[in-house]
Amino acid sequence: MHPELFHIGNITIYTYAFLIALGTLVASIYTKWSAKRELGIFNLSNNFFYLIFIAGFVGGKLFYYLEKPLYFLRNPTLMLDNFSGGFVFYGSFITIILMLLWYLKKHKIPVLPMLDILAITTTIVHVIGRMGCFFAGCCYGKPTDSFMGMDFPRTKGVLVHPSQLYEIVGLLSIMIILFIVKKKKQFQGQIFLIYIALYAIVRGFLEFFRGDNRGFIIDGVLSHSQFIAVLILITSLLFYKKKQINY
């Protein structure tokens, strides 16, 4: 692991923070370039990206607290003590989608074409962010005796699944598929629907390997994230089928 990238005097530049910043920068550049090229939007405001960040932060945190509501209600100070860590991806995803629907309609930006662009943008941020998780040694999987087992600082010599790498492979595969579909797109929103369906499958699979406390709808069987993934998968497939019929 390599949690610290480099030092500038007494200032430590952490690998995770650096990669998150890098992913955000690359994704912002891609989004602006695509919006200009595909939608003729030459002045996509930076406020657009600030709102995405705020919505993602608030939603990710809120869903994290909702996974263990009684625990945090009994220990409310932990919500402040732990304010820098603990996020749920689908919490961020849902709040960002709601914010986007409001923002895009308010500014009269085509919703489905922009969601197609942001589907690829999201995979870019997600891949680079998961690299940060790997180098930081967090978000690892369950103990294993397979050849894939790795030792992280927090596992104290216990070999675990490198679930960050599994997710990176899954996300890169999704990204390749999205770029292929983009060249032969049949209808607006197709890339977005394919993205959320494929990621739901990847995420549902990965939950079986995660080693941290996931929070369960059915204890030991169905986690919160898997439950949301199933709902999103079903919904996306229904919308996709409807769009195909109309096409």
Residue 61 has pLDDT above 90, yes or no: no
Nearest Cα to Cα of residue 206 among 223, 186, 219, 188: 223
Model's pTM, two decimal places? 0.87
Tokens of 165: 């790498």
pLDDT at 12: 85
Q: Sketch the domain layout of the chain as residue ranges.
A: 4-41+109-246
Tokens of 16: 């995770």
Using alpha carbons only, what angle is made at residue 169 by residues 118 and 135, rounded to the nearest 5 degrees? 95
Tokens of 43: 């002045």
CA distances from 113 to 24, 34, 41, 91, 130 (A): 20, 10, 12, 23, 26
pLDDT in tens, 158-205: 999 999 999 999 999 999 999 999 999 999 999 999 999 999 999 999
pLDDT at 220: 67
Residue 89 has pLDDT above 90, yes or no: no
Mean pLDDT of 119-127: 94
Beta partners for residue 151, in sequence order: 159
**Distance in angstroms (rounded) separating the CA atoms of residues 7 and 133:** 19
Q: For 2-11, 91-100, 112-121, 149-158, which range has the lowest pLDDT when averaged over its residues?
A: 2-11
Mean pLDDT of 154-158: 87
